[in-house]
Chain A
Amino acid sequence: MTATQAPGKAVGAPISRVEGGLKVRGAATYAYEHRLHEPVYLYPLQSTIANGRVTKIDASRAEAEPGVVVVLTHENAPKLASTDDKELAILQSGDIGFRGQFIGAVIADTFETARYAASLVEIEYDENEPDADFRADRDDLYTPEQLNAGFETDTSVGDADGAFDSAAHKLAATYTTPREHNNPMEPHATIAVWDEDELTLYESTQGVFWTQKTLAPLFGLDAGKVHVISPHVGGGFGSKGLPHANVVLAAMGAMLVPERPVKFALTRHMMFTVAGYRTPTIQRVRLAADENGKLSAVSNDVVEQTSKIKEFAEQTATSARMMYDSPNIKTTHRLAALDVSVPSWLRAPGEAPGIFALECAMDELAIECGLDPVEFRIMNEPENDPESGLPFSSRGLVECLREGAERFGWNGRHPTPRSERDGRWLVGSGVASSVYPVYSMGGNAATVRANSDGKYEVEIGAADIGTGTWTVLGQIAADELGVPFEDVEMKIGDTTLPNASGAGGSSGITSWGSTVVEAVRSLREKIEADHGGNIPEEGVEATAKMPKNPHSGDFAMYAFGAHFVEARVDEDTGEVRVPRMTSVFAAGNIMNAKTARSQFMGGMVMGLSAALHEESVLDTRFGHVVNHDLAEYHIPTNADVGEMDVSWIEEDDPYVNPMGSKGIGEIGIVGSAAAVANAVYHATGVRVRELPITPDKLIS
């Protein structure tokens, strides 16, 4: 919709993305595409061993290649001011912690020359046997101090073990999810320019200030000396959140060729090692219920992996702590530290694999209890948050389940597996719940400027990674200002703008939006107090910080959802098709009906992808991802996606933030893989507990 919106009516409207005209033509400028004078190209050297050290680098043949500017190795690399983060502190010695780690780079005047010359560098290693074997029965698993985002490692309420032992109905099963890679379509890319004592980074990032605050101390700079520019980002899904070593390498390269822009984009292959990934998980889930199907015990004991050089501990089981009503709930997380690259965020880190396991187990226990899976969930709905005891600010799960069941045509479903077929296709349906916390991140500020011509500018260093930020923040500002949407111009994606948190944890709109609302309110007061209610000729602006949410601490705040999936399985080949998915979400006030639907759908398809396609295969002998490209690491194509029925319930939540919105970037992926797995079980009678559900697992 491009028609003019009436003032005050922008929020919620299906407004098309404001940057759409640029994006469809390919004219939106992504990191690698900024036109700078006389750039040079960086191609990295990566270790071909997983554990050991570099003993010798002979770059003479590369240096002799016409067009090569410099070869960067640990011997001539700038010394970093801080080396605490071993993922980022590259080239400070010859030590190697995982296969594919950066050990140098060639900088040349063309990409072709840099790539070719990199192949001419001869490297010798002192190699140790790598340990990359991820198993739950390792005797060196350890307990991390805390989990990602500061969650507690282990929790226990009541006596889950005792309750399990004495229960009428129980289920104990192990679910596994593989290592998965974010694979945004735009590879991680940087153009780094070092000028005097200032570093400029044109960067593909989920947060310009996250990049600034990470890079500045590495190079011993004040944060203000690192300028990060990132107006458009070709997807991130978590992998462009915490900066990875590619940015450091580009900056180091730029230091060696002052004033010349150094261009560095990861190849798709490299994205399988240095750009973060979702840890594989092994989850031992136990659920117990009384004779009526009321849950008496919930537990999830998780084993996951991290890198020996840096810890990342995913909060896999946190959602089991709050999802259903049970007097006894226990969760644990143990880590295997291996000679592998560093895991990181991937869309809904924690919830995505954790809810897969929990929601498959709920399906299994419902069947064991002889209950409909939808009703079983509804009867175990908690009054208050089982973890904190706090009331929920809003909890629309039951409504989503009921509404979804209606839309999907769940009622009347034959509970017995293998009860429907269509020729050689076995047909089944599955359900799963979804949840994602409402996060907000601190440190935000925004400036709103009113011009005398009635136009407004809003500045905040936020990010749009396909999330609709350019559009949605403008909608929020317009309504708060009471002006037409078209009268507001956004500025985001640059560290010269007011400080902002990044796009992560589905926190963007809560954090940035609350701040924008506050800035508009300050502007209003200022216009009233200083200018008698009129915008002066020279314009007027106001800056405000994100207000503290007065309700935080009083409520448990989450978005919920329910997925319903139809699966068809070829009885002979085991091929699985998903012709339709119906998902209903309870995510507060929806800011933009058009972009929100897309975001939910993108998450749902990524869950479908986790269910059927994605799996990174590690050769444990070499610590090497074997299927490191898009031909062998499968993600859905157009033909893999059928009808997507996406909707949401009306939810009025006055506590989460001034807009009443909840983050929606991640909730779509949570639970959707479980719904697919449950549908495949219903179709075939085969319970696959190891993702992905490939044909071999169905026909053996």
Chain B
Amino acid sequence: MDAEITLRVDGEEHRLTVDTRTTILDALRERIGNTSPKKGCDHGQCGACTVLLDGRRVNSCLTFAVAHDGAEVTTSEGLAENGELHPMHRSFIEHDGYQCGYCTPGQIVSAVGMLEEVGNGWPSHATENVSAEGNAGLSDDEIRERMSGNLCRCAAYANIVPAIQYAAEHGEGVERGGNA
């Protein structure tokens, strides 16, 4: 069964017909031609397909496109503005927060979404006092915990953590999740 939907992807509107079985991930990759989010498992187990859906990070492989008519989708490609890399992009490059690069767009989108969550005061498993007011701060352990939905088989983790710390501290326009 087909359905017609509209998705706003990286600021651009797309009107498309999708099979109702089509995930946002496949709609992006196979219909719209945006292959920035990757398919690593198609089961919500790796995070390679992470996008911001109406501002929040989701596994787009677990999200049916038809259920999100009119939604706003941001991929890692969309974080770059006017051809300028996002501070998180630059920090990943500088800190070598990747090797093969396949998990990377998902990591980066996830990191940007994660900082926003921290900024909004959402606690995590690593948060000492979950009932405390305000945000949890951005210790390395907070980052490790909050980024654990994004697997990296190349195991760039120990570079991803400082990459995110650096972007959070120095990146203009990057939400400072921590004690700013």
Contacts and interface: CB of A to CB of B under 8 A. Distances in A.
Interface of A: 16-17, 19-30, 32-33, 35, 110-113, 116, 183-187, 232-235, 237, 265, 267-268, 465-468, 594-595, 597-599, 601-602, 604-606, 609, 629-631, 635-641, 643-644
B42 interface: yes
B99 A602 contact: yes
B153 A235 contact: yes
A629 B102 contact: no
A629 B45 contact: yes
B159 interface: yes
Interface in B128-180: 141, 143-145, 147-161
Given A24-B92, A601-B158, A635 B151 contact: yes
A33 B105 contact: no
19 contacts: A21-B85, A23-B98, A24-B98, A25-B36, A30-B38, A33-B35, A110-B19, A110-B22, A184-B153, A185-B102, A185-B152, A185-B154, A186-B100, A232-B100, A268-B46, A594-B96, A598-B96, A605-B157, A638-B144
A185 B103 contact: yes
Contacts of B156: 598, 601-602
Contacts of A267: 41-42
B57 interface: no
B155 A265 contact: no
Contacts of A112: 19, 21-22, 26
A187 B42 CA distance: 10
A513 to B, nearest CB: 19
B38 A25 contact: no
Given A33-B35, A641-B144, A184 B102 contact: yes
A598 B159 contact: yes
B92 A638 contact: no
A631 B99 contact: no
Interface string B71-107: 0000111011000010001001110101111111100
Given A21-B85, A24-B105, A268-B41, A466 B100 contact: yes
B58 interface: no
B46 A606 contact: no
A643 B29 CA distance: 36
Contacts of A467: 99
B38 A629 contact: no
B123 interface: no
Contact of B42 (A233, A268, A602, A604): A268
A185 B41 CA distance: 8
A466 B101 contact: yes
A28 to B, nearest CB: 6
A335 B146 CA distance: 44
B70 interface: no
A570 to B, nearest CB: 16
A233 B39 CA distance: 13
Contacts of A21: 85, 89, 93
Contact of B151 (A24, A111, A598, A637): A637
Contact of B38 (A185, A609, A635): A185
Contacts of A637: 148-149, 151, 157
Most buried by A among B41, B89, B96, B103: B96
A234 B45 CA distance: 17
Contact of A186 (B40, B45, B79): B40
Given A116-B21, A639-B144, A23 B155 contact: no
Given A25-B80, A638-B145, 17 more contacts: A25-B36, A25-B105, A27-B36, A110-B22, A184-B102, A232-B101, A233-B100, A234-B38, A234-B102, A268-B46, A602-B99, A602-B155, A630-B151, A631-B45, A636-B157, A638-B148, A638-B161
B157 to A, nearest CB: 4
A644 B48 CA distance: 24
A599 B42 CA distance: 27
Contacts of B7: none
Interface of B is mostly: loop
A235 B100 contact: yes
Interface of B: 19, 21-22, 26, 29-30, 33, 35-43, 45-46, 48, 75-77, 79-80, 85, 89, 92-94, 96, 98-105, 108, 126, 141, 143-145, 147-161
Given A111-B30, A599-B99, A638 B160 contact: yes
A602 B158 CA distance: 9
B147 A26 contact: no
A25 B93 contact: no
A639 B155 contact: no
A641 B21 contact: no
A337 to B, nearest CB: 30
B13 to A, nearest CB: 20
Nearest to A110: B19
Given A235-B154, A605-B155, A187 B39 contact: yes
A19 B101 CA distance: 9
Contacts of A186: 38, 40, 100, 102
A24 B96 contact: no
A594 B156 CA distance: 12
B85 A24 contact: yes
A113 B19 contact: yes
Contacts of A640: 148
A59 B102 CA distance: 36
B168 to A, nearest CB: 15
B46 A185 contact: yes
Given A111-B30, A268-B43, A630-B151, A638 B101 contact: no
Contact of A23 (B46, B75, B79, B104): B104
A598 B41 contact: no
A16 B92 CA distance: 10
Contacts of A24: 76, 85, 89, 92-93, 98, 101, 104-105, 108
Given A23-B98, A24-B104, A268 B45 contact: yes
B94 A268 contact: no
Contacts of A641: 144, 155, 157-158
Nearest to B108: A24
Contacts of A233: 100
B93 A20 contact: yes
A602 B156 CA distance: 7
A187 B43 CA distance: 13
Nearest to A465: B100
Nearest to B46: A630
Contact of A35 (B33, B40, B143): B33
A631 B43 contact: yes
Contacts of A20: 92-93, 98
A189 to B, nearest CB: 9
Nearest to A20: B93
A466 B108 CA distance: 17
A606 B155 contact: yes
A33 B45 CA distance: 21
A234 B101 contact: yes
A111 B157 CA distance: 32
A23 B101 CA distance: 5
A630 B43 contact: yes
Contact of A185 (B29, B30, B143, B151): B151
A469 to B, nearest CB: 11
Contacts of B75: 26
Contacts of B98: 20, 23-24, 466
B96 A638 contact: no
Contacts of B157: 605, 636-638, 641
